[in-house]
Structure 1
Amino acid sequence: MVFVIGITSVSLLPLESICDLSPAFFVGLLKALIPSISMNIYVVGLNQLFDVEIDKVNKPNLPLASGEFSMGFGITIVSIFLLMLPLLRWKRNAFLAATCILIVRAIVVQLAFFLHIQKYVLGRPMVFTKSLVFAVAFMCLFSTVIALFKDIPDVDGDRDFGIQSFTVSLGQERVFWLCVSMLLMAYGAAMVIGASSPILLSKFVTVIGHCALASLLWLQARSVNLASKASVTSFYMFIWKASESISIGMMVLWK
């Protein structure tokens, strides 16, 4: 759901008026959403197929790890694709894994969907707006946080199976507070940029909204028990919901 909201939000950035919300826009949005959702399902499914033993330790509630889905059924879902899998297991290298997430989520997704709507749906010349630059910059920080934080609750399984994540190398607490600090920096930058908006409503919503999110993030972070996988996972989901859904949604107001 968060994935769909994020794509929809960045697709709204090229719109200049309410008149742009035409049937052509929604058809163009669906043309982008459907293959993207399919690719996302494939990537998640492929990851679970080859990490099933690790997931039995880190995420035992997943369909394959829990036994809800058989390996045969999982293979059927992704068997249409032929890949050199050993070459794609970038998660064994922390830098490559983080770089992949950063490039796809922060750059490819933002630019591709923005330009798809702007040029091929609305028929306008390609122009990189201030809101797009802000989106890419914000998502660079956010994607880096996701790349680092996702391994915090998985430290036991990653260590057992030789996955050299940053959490395994640096420790849970150090990576946790690094992620929190980076998110606070992102919210602080969003408030400064929002305050420069000439539109009063955009200025008010962006500044107050990100200030509220930063405060909530800090309060939630202080209550996290790093020894509890459930507590860390809950905070990870909070980051997804707050940072991508709400922040990118408010970002649309800033032009």
Structure 2
Amino acid sequence: MGNDSIGKSWVDKNGSSPQSWAIALWEFSRPHTIVGTTLSVLALYAIAQSDRLFANPVFLPLAFAWLACICGNIYIVGLNQLEDVEIDKINKPYLPIASGVFSLKIGRLIVAATGILAVLTAVSQGPFLLATVGVSLAIGTAYSLPPIRLKRFPFWAALCIFTVRGAIVNLGLFLHFNWVLGLVGAKSVFSGWSWESLSFGIPAEVWVLTAFVVVFTFAIAIFKDIPDMEGDKQYNITTFTIELGKPAVFNLSRWVLTVCYAGATLAGAVALSNVNLVFLAVSHFLALGLMWFWSVKVDLDDRQEIAEFYQFIWKLFFLEYLIFPAACLLG
């Protein structure tokens, strides 16, 4: 997972070996976001396949969708690092640009290359993936890049994060995979694509997962600024943590996650006939219990403990992309 331990770098600042460069690139890509993106791609593919029982196990479109999303991911987090060098020297000094492992020139080359590759790959795969990647890149650019730089405003910053991670990625990827798999059932892959073949139907399972991820990502968006309070305050980045204080944001995050798990379980009982409700309820109860068990032990004056709990929240986020497709497949 991502190394968000305070002040620690995985790479020797003077290291120039291929291995050191690869490790620095991995750190530059923010590993926890890469894992989250990968799991979301696989989960939406599995949900799109759940009604088909993997009758059309097409993996080439899956690989291209993953490549486009990963490149888009690196573009977004890389651009943020290019614009936040001085802030990261305080909040995240282990990141490659902040620590001096990567120069600004190298960072710009990586961001430009991954952005272009994301768009070109999406163009080759059809309108749904292009829309998903294109809108995500546009929002990610507006989040970090002046003069807009929406990350300066807590409401807009949170909106950017949960809109991309929650709505755009989940709905866009499902529509893409559902469309691709439907075409494969009638024709060979990559042939005969037309606007008339587009399907905009989204099942209840995907809506529930999307709602879960939107709410969960809101909790991540407001929590992530707790350990970064010092640098944000120094460089006039307004966050909910600065406005409300650490305890209020910490407690708000916990209750948002509680509503998230309870709501998804209730929605499963009321609206989802094609999922395994027992598996969904038990797994959600266990995840929620672990979250509360760990949270009561967190010292809000210890940045290391806050950062570790933040990474644990990301692991719960990863876990949902395993739980929900499994509940669909077991239903």
- TM-score after normalising by structure 1: 0.91
CA contact (8 A) 1:52 1:64 kept: yes
Report what 2:102 is aligned to: 69
Report what 1:60 is aligned to: 93
Q: Which amino acid aligns with 2:90?
A: V
Report what 2:319 is aligned to: 246
Q: Which amino acid aligns with 1:38?
A: C
Q: Are 1:19 and 2:79 counterparts?
A: no
Q: Which amino acid aligns with 1:158?
A: D
Structure 1 residue 76, shift from structure 2 partner:
2.4
CA distance in 1, matches of 2:46, 2:148: 33
Q: Which runs of 5+ in 1 are unaligned?
A: none
1:114 aligned to 174, 178, 181, which one?
A: 174
Q: Tell which has more relative contact order, 1 or 2 (C-alpha 8 A, sep 6+).
A: 1
Report what 1:144 is aligned to: 218
RMSD: 2.1
Pairing of 1:191-210 with structure 2 (within 5 A): 191-196=265-270, 198=273, 202-210=276-284
Q: Which amino acid aligns with 2:155?
A: F
CA contact (8 A) 1:28 1:121 kept: no
Q: Are 1:100 and 2:160 counterparts?
A: yes
CA contact (8 A) 2:37 2:69 kept: no
User: How many percent of aligned residue pairs carry the same amino acid?
Assistant: 34
Which whole-Å deviations, capped at 9, do the CAs of 1:69-99 have from their partners, x for residues lacking one? 2223222222456978313411111111111
CA distance in 2, matches of 1:65, 1:74: 11
CA contact (8 A) 1:57 1:156 kept: yes
Q: Which amino acid aligns with 2:180?
A: Y
1:161 aligned to 194, 211, 235, which one?
A: 235
CA contact (8 A) 1:2 1:245 kept: yes
SS at match of 2:54: helix
1:223 aligned to 297, 304, 312, which one?
A: 297
Q: Which amino acid aligns with 1:68?
A: V
Which whole-Å deviations, capped at 9, do the CAs of 1:211-253 have from their partners, x for residues lacking one? 00010000111011111111111111111111x2212221122
Q: Which runs of 5+ in 2 are unaligned?
A: 1-34, 117-140, 184-196
Query: Which 4+ residue blocks in structure 1 deviate beyond 4 angstroms?
Result: 79-84, 196-199
